[in-house]
Structure 1
């Protein structure tokens, strides 16, 4: 690990405020989970008195100011891309060349060089080689740029791995060991982080945190959406998120699912209606023509229901932003879903939730709220057995709500406090009470 010392959040700031670059969570994103991560981080940083500027790396082009945030910090969005268009300054290949030649006026090179730290969150769960070498290269690019620029790299709470190739693991080990601070977002992932860092690493810099989306502030949506939910007053209203990523039959082989996912989720919706509930379908990944769109999966579920069942099923607009979706989910009596950040929106609002997951990350996150038993692995259980376990979660929702009432405030406080700890550490490095970046 890179040598730095950390201090409390009361560290004395120098004359100018802290300058930060945030990577791995584009704000304009059709994946509301990634958006929730970015929004949670930027909202907290922008409102901190010690912060002068926040440069958010995203998928766009050029540089644009964003004045929509609380606080006095300047927030800018900078386009970066793993693109073969070398003539574009947003291309990571061009950024590397421009930096080697002194910058050449490249705004990304300039922001990286001026940053007191680069905070990277890897989309929450993309620091892995499971999605292929090109995706890993995109995820590693801002981390490697921070190291090349000699800036402290902070890995914000995220999942580490798995890494299935020697090259992928070697790359991850190098970046973890170069980081000034690294946070895992659950106990399982913290074990992977320690393993990547190796036995000689300073364990005090390898921390177990919580997903930053627990700190996402909810925002009331348009009046028409509020009226839609108000019209359901007096009913037992539950939310269901059906993942577009898992809906195709090919997902069974691709993700090692125990059975057809869409059929399982359709049966769950049908059984919830039979139990007397009103079901609200909640999309968390959207995109016109996008094969992974949850809204497309919800259309398939509705098509499979009969006319009477459909009268008890409603659909939220897929265009709602992450903070608006959290506000809506917070109005529900229970929630079930496969998109992890949709379930985090429920848990952080103290709404009992059930996770039907295809990876280990969901159980770890539910475990931070002491409700890991409300996760079922879709790689092990499908069909009627999975539906029965979901219905058991629905039946014990009152008891689960009490657990969340006691546990969640501490988790939300931790989500915010860990960002304050990062700011305190960055202030100490900037004020010269630490060594230089290796």
Structure 2
């Protein structure tokens, strides 16, 4: 009987406060389990996990979770030994962290973990994610070397495919989409009649003006004022407004990213519903699936709506939104970095009034996204089948 295939996941997380990263991880693990059944091989999955305090939202006898810290990364018995003992390493890059816009420290750690796999001789799979942007000579150079040494490179949007070519990647690019399109969830029992249920994902980070509080993301509008204006408008339409957090940080240095506190404060001020502190990405998606319309600034909150059939107008603060949704032919994203408050307000409210039309557009686009994910499935399956022993 063949031994279990040993697959190590890096830059995934089973307990991230950012449920978007969690959605990618849960979806990746579900895919590996499916492919293992397909080829008749057990897959032992090791996740090099982040040290968030919450309980893991995925479990199983096939899973081993290892907390990553500085000592683990440096120890010969830590990172290097783990990837050396693996048959395959899969890196999802936290969805969009493979870029130099988030600072050198994060990117250097990412390069170190990638090159540990290269040095160990273990094939590295770059799972569907946003690639770039890279603006610095050193980061472009290291990215090019790592990508060209990788066994498989998948991009979740056309812009990332273009970025790969610009970097000098010489291999075949697997044109995929976001893994979270297939995030499992529990479809809610839909109540008949009553007021339309509108969900607004409020980004605590954007409410604070970014990490430094100085409009770090280059928004071309007053985000708190826009959110208040949208809440008031939906109330005027007779809608039942739900404020939905998707990054939930109970405490610690990254509490500025917390959506829940922002939602709770706005709910109290405006007399609307605040969704609960979800304990898993699937719980968040199940809640969002029970709404009639959705808008928000967290991309994976919007993906949860999009992939569960809820008409959505994403409010983008980076190119990853238009890259992902635009690649699928869904053009309802509005860019908050180059559109003023009136323009964003008009796009969101028009989307609500045309939500039946949006639902039809989404159905076609989702089918395209799932078809593109099939290309990643096939490529990853080929990698697994190539592993002997």
Instruction: State if a TM-score over 0.5 links the two structures.
Output: yes
Say which SS state the counterpart of residue 198 (structure 2) adopts: strand
* Unaligned segments of structure 2, at least 5 residues: none
What does the per-residue CA deviation read over 1:58-93, in whole Å, with 9 as the maximum and x for residues that have no partner? 0249xx999834xxx721111222x2xxxx4x2x12
- Residue in structure 1 matching 2:181, options 211, 214, 219: 214
Number of the residue aligned with 1:146:
117
Q: Does residue 195 of structure 2 align to residue 235 of structure 1?
A: yes
TM-score by length of 1: 0.80
Counterpart CA distance in 2 for 1:167 and 1:135 is 14
* Distance of 2:343 and 2:374 partners within structure 1: 38
Superposed counterparts of 1:21-420, under 5 Å: 21-47=8-34, 48-49=36-37, 50-60=41-51, 68-69=59-60, 74-81=62-69, 83=70, 88=71, 90=72, 92-94=73-75, 98=76, 106=77, 108-198=79-169, 201-202=170-171, 204=172, 206-219=173-186, 234-249=194-209, 251=213, 253-289=215-251, 290-305=255-270, 310=271, 313-372=272-331, 374-415=332-373, 418-420=376-378
Are the aligned partners of 1:40 and 1:213 in contact in 2 as well (CA < 8 Å)?
A: yes
Shift of 1:166: 1.6
Judged with a 3 Å threshold, the aligned counterparts in structure 2 of structure 1 residues 251 and 51 are, in CA distance, closer, same or farther, namely farther
Give the Cα separation in 1 of the matches to 2:344 and 2:213.
17
Count of aligned positions: 378
> Matches of 1:395 and 1:31 in 2, distance apart?
30
Q: For residue 331 of structure 1, report the CA deviation from its aligned partner.
A: 1.3
CA distance in 2, matches of 1:377, 1:274: 25
Please say if residues 26 and 58 of structure 2, whose CA atoms lie closer than 8 Å, have aligned partners that are also in contact: no
- In 1, the alpha carbon distance for the partners of 2:96 and 2:374 equals 19
Gaps of 5+ in 1: 1-13, 99-105, 221-225, 433-438
How far residue 246 of structure 1 moved from its aligned partner, in angstroms, is 0.8
Residues of 2 paired with 1:150 and 1:403: CA distance?
45
Question: Secondary structure at 2:147's aligned position in 1?
Answer: helix
User: Are the aligned partners of 2:278 and 2:284 in contact in 1 as well (CA < 8 Å)?
Assistant: no
TM-score by length of 2: 0.90
CA distance in structure 1 between the partners assigned to 2:297 and 2:208 by the alignment: 14
* SS of equivalent residue, structure 1 residue 210: coil
Contact 2:158–2:323 under 8 Å retained in 1: yes
Instruction: Pick 1 or 2: higher relative contact order, CA cutoff 8 A, min separation 6.
Output: 1
Which residue is 1:421 aligned to?
Answer: 379
Task: Call closer, same or farther: CA 1:163–1:65 in 2, change over 3 Å.
Answer: closer
